Amino acid sequence: MDILFSEFLDKPVWMWLFFIVIVLVLLVLDLGVLHRNVREIGVKESLGLSAFYITLGLLFGAWVWWYIGPTAGLNYVTGFVIEKSLAMDNIFVIAMIFTYFSIPRIYQHRVLFWGIIGVIILRAIMIGLGATLVSQFSWVLYIFAGFLILTGIKMWLSVDKQYEVGNSPILNFIKKRFRVTDQLHAEKFWVKQTDPKTNKLAWFMTPLFLALIMIEFVDLIFAIDSVPAIFAITTDPFIVYTSNIFAILGLRALYFALSAMVDRFHYLKYALAVLLVFIGSKIFIADGLGIAKIPPALSLSITFAILFIGIMYSLWKTKRSE
Segment 176-180 mean pLDDT: 82
Q: Is the pLDDT of residue 217 over 60?
A: yes
User: Which amino acid would we find at residue 237?
Assistant: P
Which residues fall within 8 angstroms of residue 225, CB to CB, at 6 or more apart? 86, 148, 151, 276
CA–CA dist 312, 32 (Å, integer): 38
CA–CA dist 11, 236 (Å, integer): 9
Question: Based on the number of CB atoms within 10 Å of its own CB, is 111 exposed (0-12), middle (13-18) or buried (19 or more)?
Answer: buried
Segment 18-38 mean pLDDT: 76
CA–CA dist 312, 322 (Å, integer): 16
CB 180 within 8 A of CB 204: yes
**Portion of the chain with pLDDT greater than 90, in percent:** 9
pLDDT band with cut points at 50, 70 and 90 for residue 62: very high
pLDDT in tens, 292-311: 677 778 888 888 888 888 88
Q: Is the pLDDT of residue 110 over 90?
A: no
What's the pLDDT at 132? Answer: 82
Segment 259-278 mean pLDDT: 76
pLDDT band with cut points at 50, 70 and 90 for residue 66: very high
CB 45 within 8 A of CB 35: no
What's the pLDDT at 67? Answer: 92
Domain map (residue ranges) of the chain: 2-159+218-320
Which residues fall within 8 angstroms of residue 113, CB to CB, at 6 or more apart? 27, 30, 31, 35, 252
- Collapsing DSSP to helix, strand or coil, 243 comes out as helix
Q: What are phi and psi of 300, to 5 degrees?
A: -65, -40
User: Which amino acid would we find at residue 152?
Assistant: G
What's the pLDDT at 221? Answer: 79
CA–CA dist 255, 178 (Å, integer): 29
What's the pLDDT at 86? Answer: 79
What's the pLDDT at 229? Answer: 81
- Collapsing DSSP to helix, strand or coil, 190 comes out as strand
CA–CA dist 237, 75 (Å, integer): 12
Q: What is the pTM of this model?
A: 0.84
CB 251 within 8 A of CB 94: no
* Cα pseudo-dihedral 122, 225, 305, 141, rounded to 10: 100
Answer positive or negative: Cα dihedral of 67, 70, 73, 75. negative
What's the pLDDT at 156? Answer: 81
pLDDT band with cut points at 50, 70 and 90 for residue 64: very high
Answer positive or negative: Cα dihedral of 122, 124, 129, 130. positive
- Segment of 48-62, 102-116, 136-150, 154-168 carrying the highest mean pLDDT: 48-62
Which carries the bigger pLDDT value, residue 236 or residue 161?
A: 236
CA–CA dist 266, 272 (Å, integer): 11
- Collapsing DSSP to helix, strand or coil, 193 comes out as strand
- Collapsing DSSP to helix, strand or coil, 266 comes out as coil
